[in-house]
Every structure is written in structure tokens, then in C-alpha cells.
Amino acid sequence: MNKPIYMDYNATSPIRPAVIDIVSKTMAEVGNPSSVHAAGRKARSIVEESRAKVAALTGARPRDIMFCSGGTEAGNTVIKGSGAKSLIVSAIEHDCVRAPAKAAEAAGLPVFKLSVGESGTVSLEALRNLLKIAPAPALVAVMYANNEMGAVQPIAAISEIAKEFGALVYSDAVQAAGKLPIDVMALGTNYLTLSAHKIGGPQGIGAIVLSPTAPLQPHVVGGGQELGRRSGTENVAGIAGFGEAAMEALVQLGDVERLKRFRDRLEDELRQHANDLVVIGEGAERLVNTSCIAIPDVKGETQVMHFDLAGICVSSGAACSSGKVKVSHVLDAMGYDASIANSSIRVSLGYGTNEADIDAFIGAWKKLYDRTAGR
């Protein structure tokens, strides 16, 4: 059986060979990073060397990197632990932010939704108006780049406005890492979160990047690891893999023009074949690897199945939970009706994507369109 063409990098990135190698070597070692003997000290050195590598990816100090199990734990920890008196959450956040925000609201914390326009970017004027009425200090949660359609948000401008009101800023940068430069000092965030498996690292490891003065109540207690911010024996092998992936992600920033050329060619050729093609968020700055497209009234899951049979891995634009398909809250927030929201797929490219993959996708898409759209 031929290896499938993988075009779902935003879901998870294929693990890089160098990462597999360092994880394997680390797992062959023994030692708890909290132990003071030689084996423990070696494990600690692996953790701290990797912490410095992740810090280099974000422009942060190593001591401001807090390792955790991934983007979901990181988002939950920030929302629950910032100590903010209110939350301002963009309408297109990942569920790891939306769910704890909803729980906080149910517990009595004021939560305000920050709207987006049809391009998928937040309104700075709307943010300013919300900050005028939100109990201070507020925590403003706006992701750096959206996972479904790739819109990039003006995080530095958001941070400037937030500072005027004494608010804290949290940006989920899980999708941005390796695709956009990240400099937490320039962005002005108090909290920024990462996930290793989105950049070719292992699953089950992520990080929160804190500003030096950012408050954070620990979500997991018991051992005092990570400077008391997250208890539990560190995942040494996962952290080592994360560090290696972070170094390769820095190099990958030089690959963005190639991915942009692939994405633009894909969209242009589909447009030439179908004048009713919808490209979600095309009016905004988007991640160069991400294309969210829709054939009106052709269900996203039908399209995903077609591509799967053709040996191509893509995702539906709709979110699936417990076997139930729901309209994407992202597309809903952007004003798309169900005929588009239920008919979208996400194509996300990465370091292993080549010209032949683009050719194969375009060919398979044209066959699907001609058969299902009947135009």
C-alpha cells in the first residue's frame, strides 16, 4: 500500500527524524530530574538545555518557559490561573480556551466575546470598547493564528491596547510556531502557549511562555516542579524532543515562501476550475501553509472521505466531538451560513509537502467537484 499524501499538518505534524533519534536516546537513559545524584543531574541538564531551545524559538528567557502536557493543558492553565477579574475571549479561539472560559463564566466570572469580521480578524475598536467595561484586570485571549482557516491576528497591537487598561494578554501560538516569527517581547504577551507535535515534535508535550511578571496560579500541584508552576516529574524524553523540534522550527521559517507558493497555486487552480469555490479568510493575512476551502452544499465529511480513498489526508472544517458533527464556531463567527460552514475542508501543508502532492490534491479535487457539484 502506498504511503498516504499527508496534508493535515495543522492537526499534527509528522515527527521529524532528528526528534525520533533524540527521544529514543533520551529514553535509553535513566534519572529523575529532581534527583541530586549523577543520573538525576544528567536528566536535569537535558531538560534545561531543551528549555533554552524552546526559549530561543520565542525570544523568551529559559526560566520563563513552563513545560506541560500540551496546548490544551496550557490553555486551561492560563485561563484558570491568571487571577484575572474578567475574560475577553475572541470568537474563534480553540476549545482549550473556550471550554475553561465557559466554566469560569458559569462560576460567576464576567466573560466577554470579542467578535471577528468576515476575514476572521478581531476588531481592535471592539477590544477597546470591551476593555472599558470589563472588570480589571481583564485577561484578553486572542490566538496568534487560527487553526481552521489560518487568519493571523495583530497581537502586538492588541497588547498595546490592553496595557492602556492594565489588562493581561494571552495568545495561543500553537499554530504560529514554525510558520511565523515569534518574539514575545515584541508581541507584548503575558502568556503564550505552544505544542510540540505541531512543529514535528512528540505528542503530549507543550509549554507556556510567561512574561517575567505574569501571575500564574498552578493548575497541577504536589511536587513543586517547573519553579512551582506545574508539579509532576518532567517528561524528559518529550522535552528533549520538543527542544529539537524547536530548533528545526526556527530553520523551517526559511521554508515559508515555498509553502506559500504551493498554497497559492492550489487555490488558484481550483478557482480556475470552479467559480463558486469559497476560500475562507482570503481577505486576511493567513498562515502560508493553510487553506480552508468550500464547495457549497457538498458536506465536508463527504469530501474528507473522497480524499481519504484517494490516499490524501485532509480535515473537515467542521469540529467533531463524540461522533457528532457540529458547525464550526470559527466559520459561524465569521458570518458564513451552514451551506458553506458544513462544506469546508482544511488543507494544511508542511515540511514534507512537495509539488507532486499538490498535483495529486488538485486532480482529486477536480474529480470530486465534477461529480458532486455537477457544474
The phi, psi pair for 172, rounded to 5°, reads -75, 110
Buried b (16+ CB within 10 A) or exposed e, 273-302: ebeebbbbbbebbbbbbbbbbbbeebbbee
CB 180 within 8 A of CB 145: yes
CB 71 within 8 A of CB 128: no
CB 178 within 8 A of CB 124: no
Catalytic residue among 68, 292, 313, 320: 320
DSSP-derived letter for residue 286 is: B
CB 101 within 8 A of CB 111: yes
Instruction: List the grid coordinates of 279.
Output: 476560500
The letter for the amino acid at 339 is S
The phi, psi pair for 319, rounded to 5°, reads -85, 135
Rounded to whole angstroms, how far apart are CA atoms 66 and 85?
23
* Cα torsion angle, 349, 178, 15, 69, sign: negative
Among 14, 6, 115, 88, smallest CA distance to 348 is for 6
Rounded to whole angstroms, how far apart are CA atoms 111 and 353?
40
How are beta strands 138-141 and 191-195 bridged, if at all?
unpaired
Judge residue 260's burial from the number of C-beta atoms within 10 Å of its C-beta, 0-12 exposed, 13-18 middle, 19 or more buried. Answer: middle
Q: Is 320 a catalytic residue?
A: yes
CB 244 within 8 A of CB 18: yes
What is the chain's length?
375
Task: List the catalytic residues.
Answer: 320
